[in-house]
Amino acid sequence: MIRYWMAAISKEHTSRGIQGGFIQVCHGKKAPLQKMKMGDYIIVYSSKVNMSDTIKYQKFTAIGRVSDNEVYPFQMTPDFCPFRRKIEFLECQEVSIIDLIPDLQFIENKQRWGYPFRFGFFEISEHDYQLISSKMLLHDS
């Protein structure tokens, strides 16, 4: 059964992941990545361009498919070894979340719509995936 996931990652870090064909979530934690299986889909939401920004970005910035069943460590610095998953990113355009908020099921409180993203990574319904991907994908995937 295919499952659908949402990750909250800055646009800058998302771009690195797209270039490298990987996703890294929740400051490199392994457990969230272990929930995904090959063939699952993931959408990335970027509230900011980079982590230190105070300017809002508020766009879905990437969409992809999990391409294997391995979670692997990656030594970024001597003191930081986060975990990653291989992702086949799909050709897409960025889409603002604002117009989609009323129709997204994972956003229960439309007044405080940013709340779910505080968790960094969570499962979404097929309905929400289809709604967002229909606006993002440039080709059928």
Q: Decide: 42 and 23 in contact? Cβ < 8 Å.
A: yes
Share of the chain above pLDDT 90, in %: 93
List pLDDT tens digits, range 20-56. Answer: 999 999 999 999 999 999 999 999 999 999 988 888 9
Tokens matching residue 14: 């998302």
In the chain, the domains with their CATH numbers are: 4-136 (3.10.590.10)
119 three-class SS: helix
User: What is the pLDDT, as a whole number, of residue 140?
Assistant: 60
Q: In 3D, which of 26, 63, 23, 67 has the Cα closest to residue 45? A: 63
Percent over 70 (pLDDT), the chain? 98
Mean pLDDT of the chain: 95
pTM: 0.94
- Hey, is 117 helix, strand or coil? helix
